[in-house]
Structure 1
Amino acid sequence: MSVANPIRARTVWISDIHLGFKDCKADYLYSFLSSLNCDTLYLVGDIVDLWSLKKKIFWPQEHYHILLKLYELADNGTRVIYIPGNHDDPLRRFDGQKFGPIEIMHEHTYQTATGKTFWILHGDAMDTYMQYDWITQFTGDIAYNFLLFLNRWGNRFRRLFGMPYFSLAGQIKSNVQGARKAIERYKNQCIHEARAQGYDGVICGHIHSSDLDTRNNFTYANTGDWIESCTALTEDYSGQLRLLHFADKVEWQETPQNTTKNSAAA
């Protein structure tokens, strides 16, 4: 898959790739990584889906190529920082170590080009505050798997008719009241914890819901995922953050930020 518009950035964040899971959009991700030219790349957790691999071995060549591309970026001068998530939790025991040229960190403090400090973490630690009962978790898993089924087959039909990728699962999820409330609770908890620690912003993943909100002089950014939305967060050399989504095979579009007149972009 060729790339029309190379992406130049100071820093890029991606998360929730879920290599080893059948719904990983590895072809789109490979196109993105091939277009990328950045100083630092953060892998914000759930890069390899060890949960899925325990159930069934699924490792097509495209997933292997993603790992090779990440190593290639690191070898060519990009600082690659891997912050493991809940699906690749065993890697957390290697906090502070390296896998070849890739650094492993449990979490990280990042300073933007404008001097603001951001807390970088996967975000599964916030599940402790979400108070899910087992019935909600069980029904949620079933509903989510069904959404991915719809997303998978819906986009296969779209491809047959020459239509671009569309996150049907994300669209449905954003219109379900219970899902919206859970996403909002997660977001508010991340903001609360980051503010309490004195950060100017927080960047996370985990819930597969991309967001860039700079209201109230604080930045909440969720990098989204490569299962549904195919999104990435970037910072340019002036310190401006952008949330990009894969709108077509080789084209990227900026997602509008949630802002108010008093907001301050990072």
Structure 2
Amino acid sequence: MKQHHRTVWLSDIHLGCKDCKAELLLDFLEHNTMDTLYLVGDIVDFWALKRRFMWPESHNTLLHALYQKSVDGTRVVYLPGNHDEIIKPYANMLFGNIEIERRIVHTTATGKRLLVLHGDDFDGEVCLAKWQAWLGDKLYDFLLFLNRHYNHFRRMRGGHYWSLAAYIKKRFHKANEAIARYREATLKEVARHGLDGVVCGHIHHPEIVEQNGLTYCNDGDWIESCSALTESTSGDLSLTYWTVMQENLDVIQLAS
């Protein structure tokens, strides 16, 4: 069972990080094909690799699978983020069949023009005081710690992955304020260039929002949400949460 999309956007995979859900993304790629694939930054987490080198076989397999898409005829565009910023100097170049860009404009099947970029460009407009940013990083690491052990317990009981971290984060008022500021900053950039919307990642918060006649799309991540933004052949944009889809696939397979 494979579903075909006109376009797929993936970001914040964080290969090399212990919280990367490489197996789930491999499963997504197995069940989905696309004409164009945008890798919207933080694909490899060089920050995590500097702290502690960790590269399991699943991460190697996933990196190969992403490259193989370009070999098999999918247009693949890589837009580096902050965790893989060492690739940014290679913008406007090709790595094999993969295009490397800092930002790009994607035109949907309906003619909507979307700015595509990772989103770390807007950190200066969103960031709190240094001590608040430091505290936020520590709290986020703690949330991922809870998420990791909670899902280990769920797997032992035969359950599927569920993002405890995303559930808790949504209930933090300050986190929601930062998300709103980030959304405002990206849409301000879109309006400045006379475009119709934006597709970004960076903040690990998937959503599609229509605001002041502009479209804000965040494709999420493969640390907490396991989400992808997709465009259908008719130009409709939607978010896919692969943990939910995987459960549905398991039910279909059991029924058959």
TM-score bucket of the superposed structures, by smaller chain? over 0.9
What is residue 56 of structure 1 aligned with on the other side? 52
Does residue 4 of structure 2 align to residue 8 of structure 1? yes
Q: Any residues of structure 2 matched to 1:56-135 within 5 Å, and which?
A: 56-135=52-131
How far is 1:131 from its partner? 3.9
What is residue 132 of structure 2 aligned with on the other side? 136
**Distance in 2 of aligned mates of 1:215 and 1:244:** 21
Partner deviation per Cα, 1:69-121 (whole Å, 9 max, x = no partner): 01111111000000000000010100111111111001101101011110000
What is residue 155 of structure 1 aligned with on the other side? 151
Q: Considering fraction of residues, name the structure with more helix.
A: 2
What is residue 257 of structure 1 aligned with on the other side? none
| Count of residues in Structure 1 that have an aligned counterpart in Structure 2 | 249
What is residue 202 of structure 1 aligned with on the other side? 198
Contact 1:113 1:237 in 2 (8 A): yes
How far is 1:169 from its partner? 0.2
Which of 161, 164, 183 does residue 168 from structure 1 map onto? Answer: 164
* 1:246 aligned partner, one-letter code: W
1:194–1:249 distance in 2 versus 1, CA, 3 Å:
closer
How far is 1:33 from its partner? 1.1
Partner deviation per Cα, 1:155-175 (whole Å, 9 max, x = no partner): 111111111211100000000
Contact 2:24 2:243 in 1 (8 A): no
Partner deviation per Cα, 1:8-45 (whole Å, 9 max, x = no partner): 10000010000000000000011011122110000000
**Distance in 2 of aligned mates of 1:101 and 1:173:** 38
SS at match of 1:191: helix
How far is 1:214 from its partner? 2.5
Cα-Cα RMSD:
1.3
What is residue 231 of structure 1 aligned with on the other side? 227
1:249–1:240 distance in 2 versus 1, CA, 3 Å:
closer
1:173–1:29 distance in 2 versus 1, CA, 3 Å:
same
Displaced runs of 4+ in structure 1, greater than 4 A? none
* 2:7 aligned partner, one-letter code: T
What is residue 240 of structure 1 aligned with on the other side? 236
**Distance in 1 of aligned mates of 2:223 and 2:193:** 31
**Distance in 2 of aligned mates of 1:162 and 1:41:** 32
Contact 1:92 1:106 in 2 (8 A): yes
* 1:145 aligned partner, one-letter code: D
* 2:165 aligned partner, one-letter code: A
Of 44-53 and 210-219, more deviation after overlay is shown by 210-219
What is residue 264 of structure 1 aligned with on the other side? none
1:145–1:131 distance in 2 versus 1, CA, 3 Å:
closer
Partner deviation per Cα, 1:138-189 (whole Å, 9 max, x = no partner): 1111100000001001111111111121110000000011111111111111
Unaligned runs of 5+ in 2: 250-256
SS at match of 1:171: helix
**Distance in 2 of aligned mates of 1:135 and 1:252:** 43
TM-score under structure 2 length normalisation: 0.94
